[in-house]
Copies of this chain bind each other. A is one copy, B any other.
Amino acid sequence: MAPTASGATEGTMDMPGMDMGSEEMSGMDMRPVDVTDAPVADSEARGNQPLEPTIAEDGTKEFELMAGVVRWNILPDVEIGAFAYNDQVSGPEIRVTQGDAVRIRFTNTLPEATSIHWHGLILPNEMDGASDVTQDPVEPGGTFVYEFTVEQAGTYFYHTHKSVDRQQALGLYGALISEPKVWATEKPFDQEYTLVLGEWKIDDQGQTLPAMNQAGAFPNFFTINGKSYPETETITATVGDRIRFRFVGSGQFIHPMHIHGGPFEIVETDGNLVPEGARLTKDTVLVGPGERYDVEWTALQPGRWLIHCHINDHVTNNGVEVEGGGGLTMIVEVTL
């Protein structure tokens, strides 16, 4: 008896453009993204940009999120078709202060139903965003208002919780940072940088398909905040600066993120402080899907120091190394 998935109503057996070999019976929805009518983002645009709230009378921070298809350049000559929040890959960074009440007005302009999960946050079940478990998915053209108080501090993220193997792989994720109240007076670092990790499967017609850990679906491009190296940001620092890097495991693959120029200290994971006596000093940390690692690194020597994934085909662009790297690579430029 050939298997079919129990109670399945979604998905498709037909996978245009894919040669799946022995995987041909899979129900994976590998249709390329249809970019007809999709807006084209500025080719220089970066993801993870701050999302400005409006402040309601009662102090609630109100954010607007819109899911839709966008044409987005991960490199000057490589355009993907992404599922994105606010036409941004990765989605805009929501930043709040611990204790803030937030209201997110969400609109779905995708051709399919979706919902938003607030990964790691403690909130009322009906705000958890798990389609078909805690809410009905938001149909195309529909809206939903998420409303909760952020009681925790730390690095979190939001992402689709509907048809996740397709929708999240196509870009529906973004960082959510909750700052401790005490940081209003002093932060324990000189600067910080959030790295939202993305994986992309682009076929030889330039179409975007969801990347997965399956034969025929492996990603061939990789991004930090929506850009592949050498288009990733270069950040600058001075010797002695302490920089917090927030790694967000927003994709489907584990990335051993490595830094040159000396090790970092792992200070938080999944938004939670690592107890002081338990902080590991490492130069490479496994960032798995769904995990976050906040590490702090002190600039010890001047020069150009790389941060990159240590799975070597993740630091290429479609298998090609460019200017000493690719994909999940970025540079910290340190001066005296």
Q: A263 to chain B: closest CB distance in Å?
A: 6
Which of chain B's residues have a CB closer than 8 A to the CB of A90? Answer: none
B260 and A128 contacting across the interface, CB-CB below 8 Å? yes
B263 and A271 contacting across the interface, CB-CB below 8 Å? yes
A277–B273 alpha-carbon span in the complex (Å):
12
A125 and B215 contacting across the interface, CB-CB below 8 Å? no
B320 and A10 contacting across the interface, CB-CB below 8 Å? yes
A24–B277 alpha-carbon span in the complex (Å):
50
Which of chain B's residues have a CB closer than 8 A to the CB of A313? Answer: 28, 165, 212-214, 252
In the complex, residue of chain B having the shortest beta-carbon distance to the beta carbon of A262:
B122
- A256-B249 in contact given A212-B312, A312-B164 (Cβ < 8 Å): yes
Whether, in the assembled complex, A322 has its beta carbon less than 8 Å from a beta carbon of chain B, the answer is yes
Q: Say which residue of B249, B262, B325 sits within 8 Å of A133 (CB atoms).
A: B325
Q: A25-B318, A165-B316, A212-B313 are in contact. List 13 more A-B contacts (CB 8 A).
A: A3-B318, A10-B321, A19-B21, A23-B216, A28-B313, A119-B283, A124-B303, A164-B315, A256-B288, A270-B284, A271-B283, A275-B277, A289-B310
Whether, in the assembled complex, A86 has its beta carbon less than 8 Å from a beta carbon of chain B, the answer is no
Which of chain B's residues have a CB closer than 8 A to the CB of A252? Answer: 311-313
Which of chain B's residues have a CB closer than 8 A to the CB of A289? Answer: 256, 284, 310-312
A204–B13 alpha-carbon span in the complex (Å):
12
Indicate the size class of the contact surface on chain A.
35 or more
A275–B284 alpha-carbon span in the complex (Å):
17
Whether, in the assembled complex, A123 has its beta carbon less than 8 Å from a beta carbon of chain B, the answer is yes
Which of chain B's residues have a CB closer than 8 A to the CB of A23? Answer: 216, 218, 220
A319 and B125 contacting across the interface, CB-CB below 8 Å? no
A277–B279 alpha-carbon span in the complex (Å):
10
A128–B28 alpha-carbon span in the complex (Å):
41
Q: A173 to chain B: closest CB distance in Å?
A: 11
| A-B pairs with beta carbons under 8 Å apart, 13 shown | A1-B77, A3-B206, A23-B218, A120-B263, A128-B261, A134-B303, A168-B312, A214-B218, A263-B271, A263-B272, A270-B283, A275-B277, A289-B312
Q: A105 to chain B: closest CB distance in Å?
A: 22
Whether, in the assembled complex, A92 has its beta carbon less than 8 Å from a beta carbon of chain B, the answer is no
Whether, in the assembled complex, A102 has its beta carbon less than 8 Å from a beta carbon of chain B, the answer is no
A125–B260 alpha-carbon span in the complex (Å):
9
In the complex, residue of chain B having the shortest beta-carbon distance to the beta carbon of A165:
B312
